[in-house]
Structure 1
């Protein structure tokens, strides 16, 4: 009887213990990457920034690390649009030992939350609102102060895109929680990306971000690129 009740309530039981249950994703499958010393150390550096507000995002962070490592072998710099306190970028940099790579990591953000003029009416109806994040510019400057190959650019995308003075981009991470700046960034950097370059879209599959998903589906179609939807809620394009 209780199984039928759970099914009626739109729950499904999984046989056996869960190996992973966080960040909107639950599974009984193998996730031993969490215990890999290299990843665990990198994740801890990211967690220490305070970006995730007490949440755990191991699998999302692992996807970013995987994409970043692939991008290390591609000509071009790294760009992250939507940084907050720097947790994901710090994780990635630790994982690939970015300090010793002949690349620059550009970090673009307002460092104070979303800008109202870039949030569409439909997105506002979905609950995406201006602000939403505490002021963190000085904090981010401190987090990355020891890295000589990081450039922190404050301001709203797309207004700041021209400040990225890179001819080639190998890794592009997008996490700005609204459509217009993310599509603008994807369009701006696409022609600077060579075959094999990575575009990681953090909000692609998340509830409340359907406007972004549809916009990136259209973007991928126009660019004749395949967009992989991941169970983490992320989307991934390998050019």
Structure 2
């Protein structure tokens, strides 16, 4: 159900300016599905697939079951082979902690859709804070594992985002939480930029 939801959301996101960002690739299934959907709808956007390929990072107090290193049973080579079997060449793999190690490679890009599947609070927060300013109105962030007991940090983070201005926050019974950008933040005047008021 979650993979099918991403499949549908890609078609909607393809109408917006920007690429797709997936952080927490594991073995590449959902990233390749999204890349294939972009091909089918005729989009020239790319899917940037970001992972350490060494397992979960930044586990902390908000995370009840993760301690770090889980889901390391993968590799960049595995994902590249899967992409070849999907016959997709519209992907780019960024290996390392995102955004810490690899965001500089794509900091000038805009993103219509972001799939965050990192399982823990701090990592998901850093990703969201990085991508949100780079999304147009209508941009979509999908958090995987919302409401799952093993991913309590993700549930906590999404619940903290409820009521944020310029967004609609919702969750589905399939384990996704979705945040849609509804407006851009107000622009500061030249005076405010210079004097901070």
| Contact 1:99 1:148 (C-alpha < 8 Å) held by counterparts | no
Is structure 2 residue 13 aligned with structure 1 residue 71? Answer: yes
Uncovered stretches (5+) of structure 2, i.e. residues with no partner? 182-197
Q: 1:110 aligns with which of 37, 43, 52?
A: 52
Q: 1:87 to 1:165 in 2, by over 3 A?
A: same
Alpha-carbon separation, structure 1, partners of 2:169 and 2:96: 28
Question: Which secondary structure does the structure 2 equivalent of 1:200 belong to?
Answer: strand
| Contact 2:35 2:46 (C-alpha < 8 Å) held by counterparts | no
Alpha-carbon separation, structure 1, partners of 2:155 and 2:4: 21
Q: Which has the larger radius of gyration?
A: 1
Uncovered stretches (5+) of structure 1, i.e. residues with no partner? 1-58
Listed as ranges, the matches of 1:214-229 within 5 Å are: 214-229=156-171
* Structure 2 residue aligned with 1:170: 112
RMSD over aligned CA atoms reads: 1.9
Question: Which secondary structure does the structure 2 equivalent of 1:222 belong to?
Answer: coil
Runs of 4+ in 1 over 6 A off after TM superposition: none
Alpha-carbon separation, structure 1, partners of 2:162 and 2:10: 20
State the number of aligned residues.
Answer: 177
TM-score, length of structure 2 as denominator length: 0.81
| Contact 2:161 2:169 (C-alpha < 8 Å) held by counterparts | no
Listed as ranges, the matches of 1:88-103 within 5 Å are: 88-97=30-39, 100-103=42-45
Q: Deviations over 1:145-197 (max 9, x none)?
A: 55443110000123122222443110100000111111111111111111111
Higher RCO (C-alpha under 8 Å, 6+ residues apart): 2
1:86: how far off?
Answer: 0.5
Alpha-carbon separation, structure 1, partners of 2:151 and 2:115: 16
